[in-house]
Amino acid sequence: MPITPAMPLIMVTNDDGIDSPGIVALRDAMTAVGRTIMVAPERDNSAVSHALTMNRPLRIRRRGQDTYTLDGTPTDCVVIGLGKLLETKPDLLVSGINPGPNLGDDISYSGTVSAAIEGTMYGIPSVAFSLVGEPPYDYSLAMRIAIMLAEAVLTDGLPDNTLLNINIPAGKACAGMEITRQGRRLWENSIQETFDPWGRRHYWIGGGTPLRDHGEDTDVAAIRKGLVSITPIHLDLTNHTGLQLLRRTWNLGRMEDRVRSVNSGHEENS
């Protein structure tokens, strides 16, 4: 199908795999906005973060019209999709819909968010969508929110080097939306100790109890209030306040003198 100026090109991906109901819902929602091309992992890649496969070749399989799967990570899907599958740069990249939240510290592990990070690195406006709740998931509200926010991004754009991390409360209605900052979401008792039939000790990471973030303008707080959380995430991880503090307080000259002294001692002993 030819692309017209009135029809944006949208790349759809996820970390849960090509057969996840969440990506089907997101693809179906995006067809109301533009032409969609789906490139997703063959299988579940949850919590792989920004992993890139470099120790083996990757294989693309076509699953239908504008639908492809890859035996790799979400980041692989974005890299291969942009470099080898799409003839033109997409107007928008969307990732999800993840069944479960990506809040606070969780985004460091999230393959859903990492796919949007990779799209942003290529200069493509990118959005990650997650649905808070428990299975069975009802994606109807998330689909409506995705359409609304995709249209807003296509119309108004995003700040440079910035993606959106969207978390949507469970249910068929929400109390509203809020622009939020990333909160904290650490877990207590998240490492389970188990034993196999031969008595050997093993450890299973997952579960546990999230420790409450008491901030009132965070993604965690917004979800607690039944609001859609819209968090702008910046690619620049530099702590600029810390940068200025270290420049003011650290005596690098004295450290360099110590390094030169150590180097001199090594040369005399060699």
Is the torsion defined by CA of 145, 151, 154, 156 positive or negative?
negative
Q: Does residue 76 have a known ligand-binding role?
A: no
Q: Is the pLDDT of residue 163 over 60?
A: yes
Q: Is the pLDDT of residue 260 over 90?
A: no
Q: Does residue 98 have a known ligand-binding role?
A: yes
Cβ(146)–Cβ(29) below 8 Å:
yes
Helices 140-156/21-30 angle, 10° precision: 50
- pLDDT above 90: percentage of residues in the chain: 67
- State the pLDDT at residue 252: 83
Q: Does residue 217 have a known ligand-binding role?
A: no
Q: Is the pLDDT of residue 240 over 90?
A: yes
Q: Does residue 28 have a known ligand-binding role?
A: no
Q: Give dist(CA 3, CA 34) in Å, integer.
A: 9
Q: What is the CATH number of domain 9-237?
A: 3.40.1210.10
Model confidence over 130-153: pLDDT tens digits? 999 989 999 999 999 999 999 999
- Predicted TM-score (pTM) of the model is 0.87
Cβ(99)–Cβ(22) below 8 Å:
yes
Given pLDDT bands bounded at 50, 70 and 90, which one contains residue 189?
low
Average pLDDT, the chain: 89
Which of 54-63, 130-139, 154-163, 250-259 has the lowest average pLDDT? 250-259
Counts for the chain of helices (H) and strands (E), in that order: 7, 13
> Which ranges of the chain does DSSP label H, i.e. alpha helix?
21-30, 74-80, 111-121, 140-156, 219-224, 240-249, 252-269
- State the pLDDT at residue 261: 80
- pLDDT above 70: percentage of residues in the chain: 89
Q: What mean pLDDT comes out for the span 97-118?
A: 94
- State the pLDDT at residue 267: 58
Q: What are the angstrom distances between the C-alpha of 49 and each of 19, 74, 114?
A: 20, 9, 6
Given pLDDT bands bounded at 50, 70 and 90, which one contains residue 119?
very high
- State the pLDDT at residue 213: 62
- State the pLDDT at residue 3: 45
* Between residues 86 and 216, the one the model is more confident about: 86
Q: Is the pLDDT of residue 1 over 60?
A: no
